[in-house]
Chains A and B, each alone.
Chain A
C-alpha cells in the first residue's frame, strides 16, 4: 500500500513537471524549467508541510484540527504585525525584527492551539465545530485588527508601518553552487525548518517515550489512563505544540513569501494541509510527500502564468488562472476519494475523552 502511494505521488509530480516543460520549452531550456519547478514546489509546499505536521501532532493525540487554516492566518497576521512593529516603532534592524516576527507567529499559533485544546479537551466541544470556530474567529479578528491597526478607523488614522522585508535565502555551501540544480537548495529559513521538523516530528512521535504516550492517548485514551498517563495533559501539550507548528507555517505567508498581510491570504492552504495529512496517513513523512504533491500543482500554476500567452488552441482555456487555480483542490478531492485506498485515522481521533 505504501509503495503504491509513493509511486502515485512520484507519477503525479512527474506529470505536473512535464506539463510545465511542455508549456515553456521553446523559450526556456527543459533542465532549467525542471529545476525551477522543483525549487518552487519545495518553497510553496512549506505551509502545507507545516500545516500537515500540525495536524499530525494534534490528531495523533486524538484531537481533530480543522482550525489549521485559521491558526495559519492568525499567525501570518501577528508575525507580520510584530515584525513591522519591531522595525518601525522600536527601530530594530530587519534581521532581529524578522526573528521577532517569527516568534510572534509561533506564539499566536500556540495560543490558538490552547483555545482549541480548551474547547475540545476541557469543554468537550465537537472538534470539527471547534476548528470551524477558530477559522471564523481568525477571519474576523485579523480583518478587524488589520484595519484597526494599519488603516486607521475614522478618528484615529492608522500608523504607517514599514515592513522589514522577507527572510533571506540561505546559501548552503556546496549544494547551492551546483549548476542548474543549485537553486533547488537555495531556500529560505522557514522552508528549511519545515523539512527539518518533518525529521524531528518523526523521531519525536515514533522513537521517544513522549511520542509513545501521545499515540497511546490518540489510540486508546482509557488504556493510556490506566497506565498512569494524564490524557488531558498530553492532549493539551500536543495541540498547543501543533498550534505553534501551524503558526510557523503562517509565518511563511508574510515573512517568507511576501512582506505584507492581505485578509484571507492563506486561501485554503490550511485545508489542503489537512488533506495532505490524511493522504499521508497521519505520518510526518507521508505528509511531506503529499505536501510536495500539492506544492507541485501550485508550482505548475505559477509556471503556466509565465507562459500563458503561449497556450493556444484547445489549451487556451488554461490561460485563465482560475482554471489552473482549481487544480490543487480538484487533485485533493480525487486523491482523497479512492485513488489511494483507505487511510486509517488514530482510533480515538475526534472523540472527546470523558474519563
Chain B
C-alpha cells in the first residue's frame, strides 16, 4: 500500500468500439483470479458483517437479532480478557519488533565483505514454520531446566520466571518469540529505507562535527520516517490478528492468560459453531484494526504536512 503507482489518465477519449474491446479484454485477464477472489475472500468478508447481527448456531436457522450479539459480548468476561490480552500483545510486539528491526538494519547496513551472510541469517527466522518455532521456544522457556532459565540462574537470578507455564509470563514469552521471528522481515524494509538516504547528508554532518548519536537522531531517523510509518501500520495489523503463534505455543493458556480476540473468534465460531456470536467478535476486531490504522494515517498526514 505504500507505493501504489496510479497510471496517468488516458489523454484522448478512446473510440467507443475500442472501449468495449478494452473492457472485455481487461476483464478476461482479471476474471480467473477475480472469480476465486470474489467467491472466497470478498463474499465471506461481506457476509461477516451480516452474520454479526444474526443468531445462528450450526444447527438452527439464522434469525435477525440486531445488536443482541454485541450486548452479549459486552457482558462476556472472555471477551474482556481477550481484548486486554490482544492489547497487551500489541503493546509489546509493536515497539519491540520496531526497535529490534531498526537495530538489526543499522548494524547490517555496512559495506563489509560477507555482510550478506549476516543479513540472510537474521532474516531466516521469519520464514521458519511456526510450529517448529513454537516447539523450540517452548523448550528454551522450559521453567525448570530450559536454557533460558539456566542462563538466568548462572547470571545470579535466584528464582527466574516460569515463562510459558506461568500466567504472568506466558504473554511475555509469546511476545519475545514473535519479536525474534518477525524482526528479520521488518529489517528488510528498514534496509531498503536506509539505502535511500543520500550519503552526502552524513558527510556534511561529519564535517560539522556531529556525533554518531546526533547523526542517527537528526538524519537517519527523520529520513526513515516513511518506512517507520509503514512498519508501524503493518505491525499493528499483524499484532491485532495474532492467532497461529498463540494456538501453537500456548493455546490461550495457562488459564486464559494468552487468550486473544482472533482465538475467541475461532473458538466461538468454528469449535462451538456459534456463527453469529463469533462474527460479532470478528467485527469488533475489524473495527479496532480499522480505527487504529485510520488514526495512524491521519497522524502521519498531519506530520507530513508540517
A-B interaction: no
